Chains A and B, each alone.
Chain A
Amino acid sequence: MHKKMMFSFPDEVLEHVFSFIQSDKDRNSVSMVCKSWYEIERWCRRKVFVGNCYSVSPRMVIRRFPEFRSIELKGKPHFADFNLVPDGWGGYVFPWIAEMAGAFPWLEEIKLKRMVVTDESLELIAKSFKNFKVLVLSSCEGFSTDGLAAIAASCKNLKELDLRDCEVDDLSGHWLSHFPDTVSLVSLNISCLGSDEVSFSALERLVGRCTNLRTLRLNRAVPLDKIANILRRAPHLVEFGTGTYAADLRPDVYSDLAGAFSSCKELKSLSGFWDLVPAYLPAIYPACSKLTSLNLSYATIQSPDLIKLLSQCPNLQRLLVLDYIEDSGLEALASTCKDLQELRVFPSDPFGAEPNVSLTERGLVAVSSGCPKLQSVLYFCRRMSNEALVTIAKNCPNFTRFRLCIIEPRTADYLTLEPLDVGFGAIVQYCKDLQRLSLSGLLTDRVFEYIGTYAKKLEMLSVAFAGDSDLGLHHVLSGCESLRKLEIRDCPFGDKALLANAAKLDTMRSLWMSSCAVSFGACKLLGQKMPRLNVEVIDERGPPDSRPESCPVDKLYIYRTVAGPRFDMPPFVWTMEDDPSLQLS
């Protein structure tokens, strides 16, 4: 009797239940329970996430989810951030916009990461979606302020415009004046724009009329003395990014600024601070006790000033900072900021041969010891020891993200001169929930054995200048059950491990290998055997078949897809062909 009742829920009830399920993964699971759940779920999915824009075609997405309102797409592989993916590789959003423009005019949100977005695409968005509300472009390129002007002018219901870390072509600062009087932005992030790209008066007017503005991140061009006026027009800001934080010290400017910051009683997050002049730093002190997030990674201030500032921020959860903070600053951080969850320390002089600051493993050990909630770390330094890593691992079993970059490749344990295998081994052994790991320093195949054995929840692994042989790669591919993204550069990994673990690649989003030892022949074989993978060879030296098959390819990008090979490749990318006669059932 009960069983019968369960299967006779009307669709509307199921739909209502599903509406509480927001996570993409959960929605995917729901859709696999049975055919009727698949049907109901696909009609009521409102947010679609596509982690690799080439894994599926726009048409397929639209066909399966006819009523979505929000789409998130990611394009280029992560290593594109470090110039390893040649310009022109791909990741064009236009075909997606074109398909969606035709299919549904009621689209509200578009979020893109590492994609090429042209002015034409932006203009099409502006023209096609009458209720468009949210545009988030993260690390995108290819557009200019003309495209932004089109969005501003036509999207009357725009709530969020976020251009984080984009490369925008400067043409005119007046695109901001294209926003109509009625627009009511909640979030505006223009921090990536260059010096000619913003008109201050237009900005002030815009901020003044957006009474619901909660997030405002300015670009470097906005001078210090303009901030007070802007802040006074937006007293309910929760997140604020300054422009250049430098000026000659003038008491009137200082007190104006301090007054403006104290009038913003809801500020939780601050960023910007380019060229920061320490004398102006106390102006933000009134806001410090409520701050949960602070991004000082563009501020070239020294440790004593940082320590003074951080001592005012007991509720800090997230800190981004340059290595000027030094070990002493991190020790102070560890004693004041007990709620710290995320720490990122960037190098101030990444290309210098000698260290310019006293930042070593000691600082990270101190934070790991003093901050029990620490979960996410990105740390650039110049020396490390196994002993330190083991201590850190034991102190922080809750790590979910651990990215360590020892600046000089293949640097050994500075105390014992041994590889850092044991140290990273401790990280994966103690941090059972680790999802993301980046390795550096001197590492042998042994570290990969540890990773394959212990890192069962690891989803993303970044490897550079490490390992001795294919065994290393084999350990990772055969052991890491949750692995989705693997990116490798300059490692002696070749054909054997890749071919032996070909089936694993079907379960992952993508694999990147550059400056390794994978031969063209192996790439061809992989492409032939695996119909659901696109095996892309990226080689600017010329066609790979102009060299012997045993020659290693320069760069290799493999990803699973149901859309087949793509057709927008530049001349230096080749997709290996399927061969049905070689495929395994």
Chain B
Amino acid sequence: MEGSVAYDNDLNLKATELRLGLPGTHDERQEQQQKQPVSNVRNNKRPSGESYGQNEAAPPPKAQIVGWPPIRSYRKNNSQPKKTDTEGGGIYIKVSMDGAPYLRKIDLQVYSGYPELLQAVENMFKFNIGEYSEREGYKGSDYAPTYEDKDGDWMLVGDVPWEMFITSCKRLRIMKGSEARGLGCGV
């Protein structure tokens, strides 16, 4: 077993370092320990290049970091009246697939339309959905993506306009086999 090893601090970790920063920004805090007047610090921006007065452009909007700050999802909307089905602005729904022993959760607002959504779901569960047509549903695969709407009915994904879909979808289920084919035809 290796004992204590002398470490040099010159490991070039930047090459593999995973940072949260927009491409092109460079975290300079370690090289610039200059003191700033106190008033400059009274902001919540991260100490990237911008706050050192080098970049005159307005800072880009803050990207929300996954899981930060570390609070449980049921605490996230405490400053507003109760909102169901939203978590910090997203529309989260559960996605299940017949035969898969696990569920996934996705935020519908992240997708701009059906093709993107279906691509993501295909990747999540490692299968192919087939080609959609209004008349015949999803051809070319044993699976059909369905969703439960506000009224509790199971509908085929793609039948209604996208905007209507994201407001009425409660959960997604990838059906398999004959059940799936039944939904596809003559709806």
A348 adjacent to B79 (CB under 8 Å)? yes
B160 adjacent to chain A (CB < 8 Å): no
In the complex, how many angstroms separate the beta carbon of A469 from the nearest chain B beta carbon? Answer: 6
Question: Known: A87-B105, A417-B35, A500-B2. Contact between A410 and B75, CB under 8 A?
Answer: no
For the complex, count residues of B whose C-beta is within 8 A of A.
Answer: 52
Instruction: Mark the stretch among B60-68, B133-141, B173-181 that contacts chain A.
Output: B60-68
Contact A165 B74 (CB under 8 A): yes
Chain B interface main SS type:
loop
Contact of B79 with A353 in the complex, beta carbons under 8 Å = no
Known contacts A220-B82, A494-B13, A502-B1: A81-B102 contact under CB 8 Å:
no
Are B35 and A84 in contact, CB atoms less than 8 angstroms apart?
no
- CB <8 Å contact, B9 and A83: no
Asked if B68 and A82 sit within 8 Å, CB to CB, the answer is yes
> For chain B residues 106-156, which have a beta carbon within 8 Å of chain A?
126
Q: Is the interface of A mostly helix, strand, loop or mixed?
A: loop
B185: min CB distance to chain A, Å? 29
Within 8 A of B (CB), among A14-35: none
Instruction: Decide if A346 touches B75 in the complex (CB within 8 Å).
Output: yes
A272 at interface by CB-CB < 8 Å: no
Q: Decide yes or no: A87 and B103 within 8 Å by CB, A297-B75, A468-B30, A499-B2 being known contacts.
A: yes
Binds B, one of A200-208, A309-317, A513-521: A513-521
Contact of A82 among B36, B62, B67, B104 (CB under 8 A): B67
In whole angstroms, how far apart are the Cα atoms of A551 and B46 in the complex?
Answer: 27
Q: A517 to B16, Cβ gap below 8 A?
A: yes
Which residues of the other chain, B, contact A87 by a CB distance below 8 angstroms?
102-105
Q: Is there an interface contact between A346 and B7, defined as CB atoms closer than 8 Å?
A: no
B98 to chain A, nearest CB (A): 15
Please pick, from A81, A353, A417, the residue contacting B41 in the complex, using a CB distance under 8 A: A417
Q: CA A346 – CA B2 in complex, angstroms?
A: 43
B71 lies within 8 A of A500 (CB)? no
Residues of chain A with a CB closer than 8 A to B64's CB: 351
Q: Which residues of chain A from 334 to 377 have any CB-CB distance to chain B below 8 Å in the complex?
A: 346-351, 353-356
A294 at the interface (CB under 8 A from B): no
Query: B33: which A residues are within 8 A, CB to CB?
Result: 417
For A354, the chain B residues whose CB sits under 8 A away are: 44
Contact of A79 among B17, B18, B67 (CB under 8 A): B67
Which residue from B11, B47, B79, B84 sits with its C-beta under 8 Å from A195?
B84
Specify which of B4, B65, B78 lies most central, judged by the most chain A CB atoms within 10 Å of its CB: B78
Residues in B whose Cβ lies below 8 Å from that of A346: 71, 75, 78
User: Are B70 and A82 in contact, CB atoms less than 8 angstroms apart?
Assistant: yes
A490 to B44, CA, bound (A): 19
Chain B residues with CB under 8 A of A297 = 75, 78
Chain B residues within 8 Å of A494, by CB? 11, 13, 16
Would you give the 0/1 interface string for B2-24, flagging 1 where the beta carbon is closer than 8 Å to chain A?
A: 10110101010100111110000
Within 8 A of A (CB), among B48-100: 62, 64-76, 78-79, 81-82, 84, 88, 100
Partner of B65, one of A165, A220, A409, A552: A409
Q: Are A571 and B20 in contact (CB under 8 A)?
A: no
Select A350's contact among B46, B47, B76, B81, beta carbons within 8 Å.
B76
Contact A349 B79 (CB under 8 A): yes
Q: Which residue of A lies closest to B46 (CB)?
A: A410
Give Cα A355–Cα B79 distance, bound, in whole angstroms. 13
A535 close to B (CB within 8 Å): no
Per the bound structure, the CA–CA distance linking A81 and B104 in Å amounts to: 15
A447 within 8 A of B: no
The distance in angstroms between the C-alpha atoms of A414 and B39, with both chains bound, is 10
B11, B16, B70: the one within 8 Å of A405 (CB): B70
Q: Is B26 an interface residue (CB 8 A)?
A: no
Chain A's closest residue to B2 (CB) is A500
Q: Is the CB of A408 within 8 A of B44?
A: yes
Residue of chain B at shortest CB distance from A412 = B47
The answer to the question of A510 belonging to the interface, with a C-beta cut-off of 8 Å to chain B, is: no
Contact in complex: B7, A298 (CB < 8 Å):
no
Q: 9 tightest CB-CB pairs across the interface, nearest first?
A: A88-B102, A82-B67, A348-B79, A408-B44, A84-B67, A82-B70, A515-B18, A87-B104, A517-B16
Beyond contacts A474-B7, A568-B101: 19 other A-B pairs, Cβ-Cβ < 8 A, are A82-B70, A83-B73, A84-B66, A84-B67, A88-B100, A297-B75, A346-B71, A346-B75, A346-B78, A355-B44, A409-B20, A409-B46, A409-B65, A412-B41, A414-B38, A471-B9, A490-B20, A494-B11, A552-B16
25 A–B contact pairs at CB < 8 A? A79-B67, A82-B66, A82-B68, A83-B67, A87-B105, A88-B103, A194-B84, A275-B82, A347-B71, A350-B76, A353-B44, A380-B69, A405-B70, A407-B69, A408-B44, A409-B46, A414-B38, A468-B9, A471-B7, A474-B7, A519-B16, A552-B18, A570-B101, A570-B102, A571-B126
